[in-house]
Structure 1
Amino acid sequence: MGRHFITGATSGIGHELARRLHERGDDLVLLARNEERAADLAEAFPGSGVVTADLSELPAELPDGVPDSLDGVVHAAGVVDVASVADSDAASLAETVAVNLVAPMAWTRLLLEPVRRGRGTHVFVNSGSGLRANPHWASYNASKFGLRGFADALRQEEAEHGVRVSSVYPGRTATRMQERVHAQEGKEYDASQWIRPETVAEEIVRLLDLSRDATIPDVTLRPL
Structure 2
Amino acid sequence: MTDRPITLITGASGGIGSALARCLAPTHDLILSGRGGPALDGLCAELNAAPLALDLTRPETFAQAVAGLGRVTNLVHNAGVVELGGVAAQDHTTWTHTLAVNVVAPAELTRLLLPRVRQERGTVLFVNSGAGLRANAGWGSYAASKHALKALADALREEEAGHGVRVSSVYPGRTATAMQRKVREQEGAPYDPAAFTRPETVAATVASVLDAPRDAALTDVTVRPGAGL
Q: Could you say which TM-score interval applies, normalised by the shorter chain?
A: over 0.9
Deviation at 1:198, TM superposition (A): 0.8
Deviation at 1:217, TM superposition (A): 0.6
1:156 aligns with 2:187: no
Aligned-partner Cα distance in 1 for 2:14–2:221: 21
Please tell me whether the aligned partners of residues 127 and 169 of structure 1 are also in contact (alpha carbons under 8 angstroms). yes
Deviation at 1:33, TM superposition (A): 1.4
TM-score w.r.t. the length of structure 2 is: 0.92
- Aligned counterpart, 1:48: 49
Aligned-partner Cα distance in 2 for 1:92–1:33: 20
The answer for unaligned runs of 5 or more in structure 1 is none
What is the aligned counterpart of 1:9 among 5, 8, 12?
Answer: 12
TM-score w.r.t. the length of structure 1 is: 0.94
Aligned-partner Cα distance in 2 for 1:36–1:92: 28
Give CA-to-partner distance per residue, 1:98-157, whole Å, 9 cap, x none: 111111111000010010010000100000000001111000011000000010000000
- Aligned counterpart, 1:84: 86
Q: How does 1:1-224 map to 2 (within 5 A)?
A: 1-22=4-25, 24-45=26-47, 47-60=48-61, 61=63, 62-67=65-70, 69-224=71-226
Deviation at 1:181, TM superposition (A): 0.3
Please tell me whether the aligned partners of residues 34 and 54 of structure 1 are also in contact (alpha carbons under 8 angstroms). no
Q: Secondary structure at the match of 2:66?
A: coil
Q: Secondary structure at the match of 2:124?
A: strand
Give CA-to-partner distance per residue, 1:80-114, whole Å, 9 cap, x none: 01111222233222111111111111100001001
Aligned residues: 221
Q: Secondary structure at the match of 2:108?
A: helix
Please tell me whether the aligned partners of residues 38 and 52 of structure 1 are also in contact (alpha carbons under 8 angstroms). no
Q: Give the counterpart letter for 1:63 in structure 2.
A: V
Please tell me whether the aligned partners of residues 118 and 164 of structure 2 are also in contact (alpha carbons under 8 angstroms). yes
The answer for unaligned runs of 5 or more in structure 2 is none
Report the aligned-residue RMSD.
Answer: 1.4
Large movers: runs of 4+ above 4 Å: 35-38
